[in-house]
Amino acid sequence: MSSAYASDTAAAASPRPQTASEALQALADGNARYVANAAINTDHSAGRTARSEGQQPFAAIVTCADSRVVPELIFDQGPGDLFVVRVAGNFINEDGLASLEYAAAVLGIKAILVLGHSSCGAVSATIKSIHDNTLPPGHLPSLVNAIRPAVYDVMAENPADLLAAATAQNARLNAQKAETTGPILSDFHTSGKIKSVAGVYEIATGKVAIL
């Protein structure tokens, strides 16, 4: 292989996004390819040597640990393109903030997408916990307590689909947290170098809706 990037067609078609809007567009374009089953980032051995020298992901994805939610596939990106922070229920705790601060200040990401998904077990467990007025066993209350504010927000509106509404609100609240938490992330957002958005991944269709 003469080039460090064997997938030259994909690399030429998709130069690294330089702005927040370019980064979000690249994610949207990649998701459209994924939905159409027309992925171009399929050669995962390409660029291994170049990647050993460093990383320059263009976006951070905060998403659920759910096995059906696979950011590199969903957005048709290759190794080194996405900085992924995962925890069941896709909320941002102190460790998540630190991870995103590193991605912003050191790696130069241009966008943060907090991605909820359909049929999320963590959000379902939180709704059940509130309805039953009980806490799940073990360390699960930690997840439930983190997701609870989103459920309370939408319960007042009595939505037809509480799970979907709470999933969307949880993504929104955490995108706001990424945007407003100082000092590092808030500065990057104020200066326009990074934009944070919320989205929901629909498992049945493969589509990501930006909220």
Tell me which residues touch Zn ion (CB under 5 A).
64, 66, 120, 122
Residue type, 90: N
Cβ distance to Zn ion smaller for residue 143 or 185: 143
Cβ distance to Zn ion smaller for residue 19 or 142: 142
Q: Let me know: does 127 contact 163? Beta carbons within 8 Å.
A: yes
Minimum distance, C-beta of residue 92 to Zn ion, in the bound complex (Å): 14
Minimum distance, C-beta of residue 209 to Zn ion, in the bound complex (Å): 16
Listed in sequence order, the residues at least 6 apart from 56 whose beta carbon sits closer than 8 Å to its beta carbon are: 16, 80, 107, 108
Q: Let me know: does 112 contact 62? Beta carbons within 8 Å.
A: yes
Pairing of strands 82-86, 195-201: unpaired
Minimum distance, C-beta of residue 184 to Zn ion, in the bound complex (Å): 27
Cβ distance to Zn ion smaller for residue 64 or 74: 64
9: nearest Cα among 39, 49, 53, 54: 39
Minimum distance, C-beta of residue 64 to Zn ion, in the bound complex (Å): 3
Cβ distance to Zn ion smaller for residue 23 or 113: 113
